[in-house]
Amino acid sequence: MIVLYARSNRNASIDNQLEIINRFAIKHNLSISKSYIDDGYSCLQERPALNSLLSDIKLNKIDTIIVTDIARLSRNYLKVQEYEMLFKKYNVKILYIDYEELEWEQKIELQSMQDILQKMK
């Protein structure tokens, strides 16, 4: 099952994120089955939709998650790494739309940072 996750912030409304994700899905011929939306929750708060998403992952209900950018999951990269390890454990693919647009050098830099964070655990 392909799902999306959106969380509002000052720069990107839920509607804006949904539009971006839906355009991405159409471009890549992906069919989104479910939306997990935390509207009005900061990354520091308990987020009901994120918790539901994580529960569904552990029940093997999800194959792919689409988000507009990595910060929608968390601005704390250690927390993002924790989520990504969970995704990997359950064979869930995560698609960061903004990540796709990065230049090659930035992708290498981000991957290097992720490798460093992995080694710190």
CA torsion through residues 52, 38, 27, 111, sign: negative
CA torsion through residues 62, 23, 49, 74, sign: positive
How do the residues of the chain divide into helix, strand and coil, expressed in percent and rounded to 5?
Answer: 50, 15, 30
**Which amino acid is it at 49?**
A
pLDDT tens profile 69-90? 888 998 888 989 999 999 999 9
Look up the pTM and report it: 0.78
The residues that bridge with 2 in the sheet, in sequence order, are 32, 64
- Whether the pLDDT of residue 118 is over 70: the answer is no
Q: What is the mean pLDDT of the chain?
A: 83
Instruction: Provide the CATH number for the domain around residue 94.
Output: 3.40.50.1390
pLDDT tens profile 83-114? 999 999 999 999 988 755 544 444 444 555 55
The tally of domains found in the chain comes to 1
26 CA to centre of own chain: 18
Q: Which domain holds residue 66?
A: 2-120
